Structure 1
Amino acid sequence: MTAASLPAPDVADRSFWASCRVVETLVPTLATADTERATPWPQTLASQYARFFRDGDRTVYEAQVAARHARLTRATLAALLDPSAERVDEVVDGVLLLCEQSTWCWAAHDDTFGRFGRVTPTVTEPYLDLGAGEVAAQLAWVDHLLGPALDERAPGIRWRVRHETQARVLRPFADRRDWWWLGVDHPIMNWSPWIQGNVLAANLALEEDPSRRRAVTALVAEGIAAYWASLPADGGVDEGYHYWWQGAARALEAQDLLGFAGIEPEQAALDRIRATVAFPHSMHLGGDWYVNVADGAARPLATWPWNVLHAWALRVGDDAAARHAAARRGLPGGLFDERASLPRAVRMLSDAAWTEAPAAAPPLVGRALFPSTGVAVARSAPGSARGVAVSVKGGHNGENHNHVDVGSVIVALDGVPVVVDAGKPTYRAGTFGPDRYELWAVRGDWHNVPRVRGAEQAPGERFGARGFEVSDGEADSHPWRARLDLAGAYPVDGLEHWWRETTLDPDAETVTVEDSWTFADAGAPASADGPTAWHWLLAGDVTLTRGGALVRFTPDGGPTPARTLALTWDAEAADAEVDLRELDDPELAAVWGEHLTRLRLTARAEAPSGTFRVTMRPTGSGPQEVA
């Protein structure tokens, strides 16, 4: 490692930045950057920032922050292709705007209101959060990539970058070791590698004192090792697929930078890396659809750095993970997507093994099991998206980004989820506060779990599954069963057991969910809060039939489905109704369209013990092939 540098070609490497491949790849970005240059930069206003504290809205301010970052990314790439005066000036303008921004912290994370009662940033008390780390890394990469051009065109701008980064990020990180996301009085989660990886980039590019650079690098190495140690040995991630990319993948990126600095992971960390590299493809349903739990989208709403997964899969020898990543290589945005951050965009462009990776088909594994988080997945046709796939969620209701979903089931037909988990709502002030479990998308009543004698599941770690077990998990052609006791997730007196058994018959392409319960009392409770009901959240168009429902989902941008999923149950045991949920949340609507439908099956009688079964199988024409 040279003094103050990062592992990517800078503007002086014309053989790279003037190469036909890079120029052709960045043609659309170049056109956008040149058009933007004559327009005002996105502004981050005090009134936008204050909205989080006034009415809970965080998206308006963060959207302006993201727009400013995106424009600076495009301007930087354009200047790398052609470091003309006007293009470098555009970069300087963006850099100085960031340096003069009162805070790099996102309002939703800042402690200024809690500590001082202020709805404007407290510039003397910078808070080191995800937003601050992102700005520091952005500036670090701009400095590394365009340093000589910046010095020539705007002497002093690089000094300003170093001054602001030291004050807002590097010194707070080194001097304060009580940040909660380091694992101080709080379990380590995705913030830790995300922030520390960005701190490391700023440290390697901008810290000019060799002893301080070594010290901060050592602190990050310690922090990333702690993150790997916090992951379960089986590679499971309780935050799910979405946050794998903002947790484990961030740690892999940080590990790459540590390797550039001469620090390689210990064997214990490599074991955890090897296990978690297998997580994304294990959650894959087909196309761009994935099993989603917690605050995760079933369909990605962002650009993920598939090259990072590909590189580490090759390194640890996981062929299935490498093929899964390589399957994204030839798709739009696989080589470069301008929605990616500058660090991720440049690393993707300069990863020769990725840019030259041959086309591959995703592995679409037949069985996957993560006992640590109680997540199991099975499909009827391993290696293909056709047929049905099912996932079962165990665990407990106090996980990171938790939803109340112990025992929830997701069912996909021909690679597309139809019995679904709504997933991540747009974040607001109450999303992580005391009112979190009033959000409909987080509550148990809007997951595929029962309401037991009028009671929803309760949030908290003590409310969880018991006796989670999976049979025939390795035999792809055999019937598959997942069984767990949901009783511990409910604050219901006298509930001894609520066994949920989910079965997949591969030959019949049939999923069966059977609930069997036992109460200690001899009859229905005198103080019942309401009846027992089974909830099923469905995507697409739903038609009720006698003792059944038909579901057909045509997602935006996807092929017209060839088949419909039919749900059937004992019509004498439960009354069926549907609740249409119009989606005014932009993130949920981007995944599911205009609405979701909840099927409610309400028990006609309360018994101290009993069984209720729902069967799901496709109808219509033959299986649809989905990549």
Structure 2
Amino acid sequence: MLIHAATAAQLSTHFDPATVNALYPAYENRKAWDSIAPAYRHQLISQGEEALDYKWQVVPASVYLEFVRTGERYVMEDLFNQNLNAIKKLAFAELAEGRKRFIPQLINGVWAMCEITSWSISASIGLQKKGAGLPDVEEPIVELGAGITANAMAWTYHFFKKAFAEVNPLIASRLKLEITRRFLTPYYTRNDFWWMALDGRPRMVNNWNVWLNYNALTCLLLVEDDRQKQLDGIYKSMRSVDQFINYYKNDGACEEGPAYWSHAGGMLYNYLALLKQATGGFVNLFDSTLIRNIGSYICKAYIDSNYYLNYADASARLRGDVGLIYQFGKALQDKSMTSFGAYLARQQHLADSLPADTYYGMLRHLFSAGEILAATAQPPYLRDAWMPETGIAVARDEAGTAKGFYFSALAGHNDESHNHNDVGTCVLFYNGQPILIDVGNETYNRQTFSAERYSIWTMRSAYHNVPLINGVEQKEGKRFAATAVQFHSSATQASFTADIAAAYPEAAAVKKWKRSYELKRKKSFLISDQYSLITNNGKTELHFMTSAQVQVVKDGLLRFTIGEVSLDMTYSPKLFQVKLEPVEVNDKKLLQSWPPVITRLVLQLTNTQTEGNTELLFRPSKQPY
């Protein structure tokens, strides 16, 4: 798509690196910086003052090695990021104040980052030829840690190279040298990093691609001063990002989940907007239907409050990126996105303070907050959404409100990016409160992206809202997929159906398992299963995860209660034996979304018939029974 928008010759004609200077005012433009909101200035200066006495951290060998020893990655990342965050605080404090009070400590931080052995994180060092463990100083690798750091350091170089030169000309030149050595040179010279997708092999292409190419584009525009290297690097990034765009399905859904949208589909906006700026508007993909769908996905994934549809590696509760959603919507002329961004701005009290953010995110919020806060604000309570290629269905009782039922269902396959084995699962909310949930994922460690991934409980189908068939769980792999998927919607109902039998290995001995969800708007929600088994060993169960309190009211009736919301589920006591299994939640990431104990509801089929039908009906609770 991108290389069809501009040839290398056309890029050379229209590329103007000076246009990047129009994005944000230079440090020396004190009139512009003095015009930022007083509350923001006070916030930025106060945060910078906190970093004036910061002691710059050394990342010792032992914390790099912790990843291979125990699987713990954040002991290294947290220490490294303390330095990076201090640099950001000092830089923005100086931009806001302009008195050069923060420059000496900022220089100390820049020098410390230049002295550190590697900008790569311990979890990704395995990309180097010598493998995981300690970084090889002779082989800088281009991965997310290096990319994020290079981006921040490039903005620091851009804003302060003149101020640094007044102290000593070696500071800026050293910083440029390290950005080039650690990031740009391997970016220029290597095509074998898997995320580039330039080796001609069919492969999964995920957020790494566009995130790192955006970081590269930023460095090319802010640091590189050789025009031919800029042009070659930009065109290479276009070829690489094309692979990311091509991998996306036409429905625009982010198979990595909404938590990754800001680093995947949302990062695509960052890349495309910067490329458009650098080419004077010549390369412009914002009129593409696919790009529009990629942007609007975040509205389709919104449930209520800070709850989002969290299939794959995603938390159920997220803090949406105000400026990104608004500006992406503005580029697409999508009013639902701009209204959503404005709504989130009010929800997050943007008028009072800036959110913790990346360098470029902070700049975006600083200079667009006024416009966002003045815009029409409206949450995207869509009545329905259907993303057929990814197999995600969404429906609620009524557009424009969180009241009543909301459900989503997932078809797809078990080899998606950040995959969980969850073909056929669902989530169910009522009045904005979670009833049936997708647990999400725990804090990443060495197991997460290894052959041990599906030993982690949150990745297994046994802890999703799908059946356990003859004691057998779903299997990972692209062939383990839903078939015969359908979604229908009208003013009075919405229904989703999929045969999920193929998501299970042969040991499950299942010929057909038709899972259906039916919403009768403002009335009820029905989960039904029609199955045909080769054999039935008596170990078939329906599993459902919930964060609500579950009460057995009587045989055939369960009550789910959360806050003021109460839903009843009726079932046939002749077909099922009910078990309520407490599941302890002790991971810090999961605890941001769920209470310390959630429940797995297990409905065990009591018969050994090989064919059958079951129904579970949810309705608002009524007293008495």
Give the counterpart of 1:318 among 315, 334, 340.
334
Q: Conserved in 2, the CA contact under 8 Å of 1:564 and 1:619?
A: yes
Cα distance in 2 for partners of 1:42, 1:481 equals 55
Q: Conserved in 1, the CA contact under 8 Å of 2:19 and 2:277?
A: no
Match of 2:468 in 1: 451
Q: Conserved in 2, the CA contact under 8 Å of 1:235 and 1:276?
A: yes
Match of 1:597 in 2: 599
After superposition, the Cα gap between the structure-2 partners of 1:579 and 1:29, relative to the gap in structure 1 and judged at 3 Å, is: farther
Match of 1:552 in 2: 561
More divergent stretch after superposition (561-570 vs 202-211)? 561-570
Q: Conserved in 2, the CA contact under 8 Å of 1:348 and 1:354?
A: no
Cα distance in 2 for partners of 1:5, 1:278 equals 27
Structure 2 counterparts to residues 74-89 of structure 1, below 5 A: 74-89=89-104
Cα distance in 1 for partners of 2:283, 2:504 equals 42
Cα distance in 1 for partners of 2:79, 2:445 equals 16
Match of 2:505 in 1: 491
Q: Conserved in 2, the CA contact under 8 Å of 1:282 and 1:368?
A: yes
The two structures have a TM-score, normalised by structure 2, of 0.92
Secondary structure of the residue aligned to 2:528 is strand
Match of 2:5 in 1: none
Match of 2:551 in 1: 543
Match of 2:62 in 1: 47
Counterpart residue identity of residue 291, structure 2: I
Match of 1:558 in 2: none
Cα distance in 2 for partners of 1:220, 1:316 equals 22
Q: Conserved in 2, the CA contact under 8 Å of 1:391 and 1:409?
A: yes
Cα distance in 2 for partners of 1:619, 1:64 equals 50
Shift of 1:353: 7.2
Shift of 1:20: 4.9
Counterpart residue identity of residue 330, structure 2: L
Secondary structure of the residue aligned to 2:496 is strand
User: Structure 1 unaligned runs (5+)?
Assistant: 554-560, 622-627
Counterpart residue identity of residue 167, structure 1: R
Q: Conserved in 2, the CA contact under 8 Å of 1:17 and 1:80?
A: yes
Match of 1:461 in 2: 478
Cα distance in 1 for partners of 2:94, 2:125 equals 33
Counterpart residue identity of residue 308, structure 2: Y
Cα distance in 1 for partners of 2:215, 2:230 equals 14
Shift of 1:352: 6.5
After superposition, the Cα gap between the structure-2 partners of 1:117 and 1:2, relative to the gap in structure 1 and judged at 3 Å, is: closer
Match of 2:444 in 1: 427
Shift of 1:615: 1.6
Counterpart residue identity of residue 569, structure 1: Y
After superposition, the Cα gap between the structure-2 partners of 1:353 and 1:20, relative to the gap in structure 1 and judged at 3 Å, is: closer
- Measured against aligned partners, the alpha-carbon deviations of 1:534-568 in whole angstroms (never above 9, x if no partner) come to 11100132223322332233xxxxxxx32223222
After superposition, the Cα gap between the structure-2 partners of 1:619 and 1:10, relative to the gap in structure 1 and judged at 3 Å, is: farther
User: Structure 2 unaligned runs (5+)?
Assistant: 1-15
- Measured against aligned partners, the alpha-carbon deviations of 1:125-167 in whole angstroms (never above 9, x if no partner) come to 1111011000110011111222322222343211111111111
Counterpart residue identity of residue 33, structure 2: W
Cα distance in 1 for partners of 2:237, 2:422 equals 34
Cα distance in 1 for partners of 2:609, 2:300 equals 39
Q: Conserved in 1, the CA contact under 8 Å of 2:342 and 2:372?
A: no
Match of 1:556 in 2: none
- Measured against aligned partners, the alpha-carbon deviations of 1:308-334 in whole angstroms (never above 9, x if no partner) come to 222232232322222122211223254
Cα distance in 2 for partners of 1:600, 1:122 equals 50
- Measured against aligned partners, the alpha-carbon deviations of 1:175-224 in whole angstroms (never above 9, x if no partner) come to 10121101243221110000000111111111011111121112122222
Shift of 1:36: 2.8
Match of 1:10 in 2: 26
- Measured against aligned partners, the alpha-carbon deviations of 1:347-404 in whole angstroms (never above 9, x if no partner) come to 2212377445424111300000001111000001211011110000100011100000
Cα distance in 2 for partners of 1:460, 1:468 equals 18
Give the counterpart of 2:565 among 549, 563, 566.
563
**Is 1:518 matched with 2:527?**
no
Give the counterpart of 1:66 among 81, 92, 104.
81
Give the counterpart of 1:163 among 170, 177, 196.
177
More divergent stretch after superposition (602-611 vs 354-363)? 354-363
Cα distance in 2 for partners of 1:96, 1:8 equals 25
Cα distance in 1 for partners of 2:382, 2:355 equals 31
Counterpart residue identity of residue 8, structure 1: Y
- Measured against aligned partners, the alpha-carbon deviations of 1:476-506 in whole angstroms (never above 9, x if no partner) come to x321110000110111454221001100011
Counterpart residue identity of residue 618, structure 2: M
Match of 1:149 in 2: 163
Cα distance in 1 for partners of 2:566, 2:179 equals 55
Cα distance in 2 for partners of 1:166, 1:321 equals 37
**Is 1:534 matched with 2:542?**
yes
Shift of 1:266: 5.7
Cα distance in 1 for partners of 2:414, 2:254 equals 14
After superposition, the Cα gap between the structure-2 partners of 1:418 and 1:170, relative to the gap in structure 1 and judged at 3 Å, is: same
Counterpart residue identity of residue 53, structure 2: A
Cα distance in 1 for partners of 2:622, 2:376 equals 32
After superposition, the Cα gap between the structure-2 partners of 1:339 and 1:53, relative to the gap in structure 1 and judged at 3 Å, is: same
Match of 2:40 in 1: 25
Shift of 1:76: 0.8
What is the RMSD computed on CA atoms of the aligned residues? 2.1
Match of 2:403 in 1: 386
After superposition, the Cα gap between the structure-2 partners of 1:595 and 1:607, relative to the gap in structure 1 and judged at 3 Å, is: same
Give the counterpart of 2:212 among 180, 195, 205.
195
- Report sequence identity in percent: 26
Q: Conserved in 1, the CA contact under 8 Å of 2:91 and 2:106?
A: yes
Match of 1:557 in 2: none
Give the counterpart of 2:238 among 205, 221, 231.
221
Structure 2 counterparts to residues 114-133 of structure 1, below 5 A: 115-116=129-130, 119-133=133-147
Match of 2:292 in 1: 274
Give the counterpart of 1:331 among 330, 347, 350.
347
Match of 1:625 in 2: none
More divergent stretch after superposition (446-455 vs 490-499)? 490-499
Counterpart residue identity of residue 535, structure 1: H
Cα distance in 2 for partners of 1:232, 1:197 equals 21
Q: Conserved in 2, the CA contact under 8 Å of 1:307 and 1:351?
A: yes
Counterpart residue identity of residue 176, structure 1: R
Give the counterpart of 1:504 among 507, 519, 533.
519
Shift of 1:438: 0.4
